[in-house]
Structure 1
Amino acid sequence: MDYRRFGDKYLIRLDKGEEIIESIKEICMKEKIKLASITGIGATNDITIGIYELDKKYYNKQSFHEDFEITSLTGNVILSGDEIIPHIHVNISDKDFKVRGGHLNSAIISVTCEIVLNAIEGEASKYLNEEIGIKLIKF
C-alpha cells in the first residue's frame, strides 16, 4: 500500500494481497481521519459482499473467488468512539461482464486498487437503530 495526501484528499494504491477495509482503517488511524468519503476502482479475486435483510436484521453475505474488476467502490468512513467504521458498497464485474454488487465486507486485491479518500472536516458518529438493526449516522 502506498498513498499521498493532496490537500484534504488522499490518493491510495493498494497492491496484490492487500485487503480494502483493513487498509482504509489503517490509513484513517495513521492520518487521524475522523470523517471521509471514498471512491475507487480495481481488481479482486477474493471478495465477500452482503445485502441487508431488514426482516431478519442481518447481512446475507456471499463470498466469490474468481477474477473480478471492481467497477465501482463508494462509501464513507466515520470514527465513532475509538472505532473506524468504513461503510462501503461495491460493484464487481466477472469475465462474462455480469455485475454483482452490495455491501463490501472484505476484498483482497488481485492486481491493484486505486482509491480516492476525501477527508471531511468535522465529526459524526454512529448509533444502533434498534428498529432496523444497523448503525446509522448521528450528527
Structure 2
Amino acid sequence: MKLLSTLLFTFFLLNNFSAQQKENCRYIKTPTGYLMVLRQGDDVLAKIENLAKTENIPSAGFTGIGFANDVTFGFYDFDAKKFKPKTFNKVEMGSLTGSIAWNEKGPSIHLHGVATDEKFNAYGGHILSLHVGTGSMEIYITLNDQKLERKVEQPLNANVLQLNCRQ
C-alpha cells in the first residue's frame, strides 16, 4: 500500500510539473531563431528582453501578430527630444516589427506596430509598452550572428543602431 501511495504521489508530482512547464513555456528554438507565443497579460517588451538575456542573443529582427489589452505608442517630438505617448485598449496588433540589440544596460528592444480597433481604425508607430490581451501573441525572432549595439546620439537624443562596417 505504501508503494502504491508513493507511486501515485510521484505520478501526481510529475504530471503537475509537466503541466506547469507547458503553461510557463513561452518560446521554442527554431532553425532560424525562436518562436514566442505569449499569453494574456504578458508584457511583450519584457518577455523579448528576457529571451535576449536568457539565450544570449547577439542581435535579431522580429515580427509578430496578436491581441493586445493595451498598447502605448510614442510619437517622437524632435524639438522636445522625447516621445508623446498615446495608449489604446483592446486592439488587434495587425503587425509588429522590431529589432534586438544591446546598450550599456543590457538588451535594447526597438518595436513598431500597427493596431486596429473594433471599427477597423488603425493606429501605429513606435511602441513604448504592449501587453497581450485575450488570446495570444505570436512573435517570430530571426537571429543575426553579429552583436549589434545602440547608442544615444545627439543632438536628437535618439537611441540609434550602430553598424560596424569594418568587419
Q: TM-score, normalised by structure 1?
A: 0.94
Amino acid at match of 1:128: V
Q: 1:132 aligns with which of 143, 153, 156?
A: 156
Q: Distance in 2 between matches of 1:138 and 1:47?
A: 27
| Range with bigger deviation, 73-82 or 10-19 | 73-82
Amino acid at match of 2:128: N
Partner of 2:127: 104
Which structure is higher in helix share? 2
CA displacement, residues 60-115 of structure 1 (integer Å, 9 cap, x when unaligned):
101122x2110000010102234101000010000000000011111110121000
Q: Distance in 2 between matches of 1:128 and 1:107?
A: 23
Contact 1:8-1:120 at 8 Å conserved across structures: no
Q: 2:118 aligns with which of 89, 95, 101?
A: 95
Amino acid at match of 2:30: F
Give ranges in structure 2 of 5+ residues lacking alignment. 1-24
Give ranges in structure 1 of 5+ residues lacking alignment. none
Q: Highest Rg: 1 or 2?
A: 2
Q: TM-score, normalised by structure 2?
A: 0.79
- Higher relative CO (Cα under 8 Å, sequence separation at least 6) belongs to 1
Q: Give the secondary-structure state (helix, strand or coil) at the position aligned to 2:42.
A: coil
Q: 2:85 aligns with which of 61, 73, 96?
A: 61
Which structure is higher in strand share? 1
Q: Distance in 2 between matches of 1:97 and 1:41?
A: 15
The count of corresponding residues between Structure 1 and Structure 2 is: 138
Superposed structure 1 runs of 4+ greater than 6 Å apart:
none
Partner of 1:30: 54
Contact 2:41-2:69 at 8 Å conserved across structures: no
Q: Distance in 2 between matches of 1:81 and 1:114?
A: 28
Q: Give the secondary-structure state (helix, strand or coil) at the position aligned to 2:53.
A: helix
Amino acid at match of 1:126: R
Q: Distance in 2 between matches of 1:34 and 1:79?
A: 8
- Aligned-pair Cα RMSD in Å: 1.2
CA displacement, residues 41-67 of structure 1 (integer Å, 9 cap, x when unaligned):
0001211111111121110101122x2
Percent of aligned pairs sharing the same letter? 26
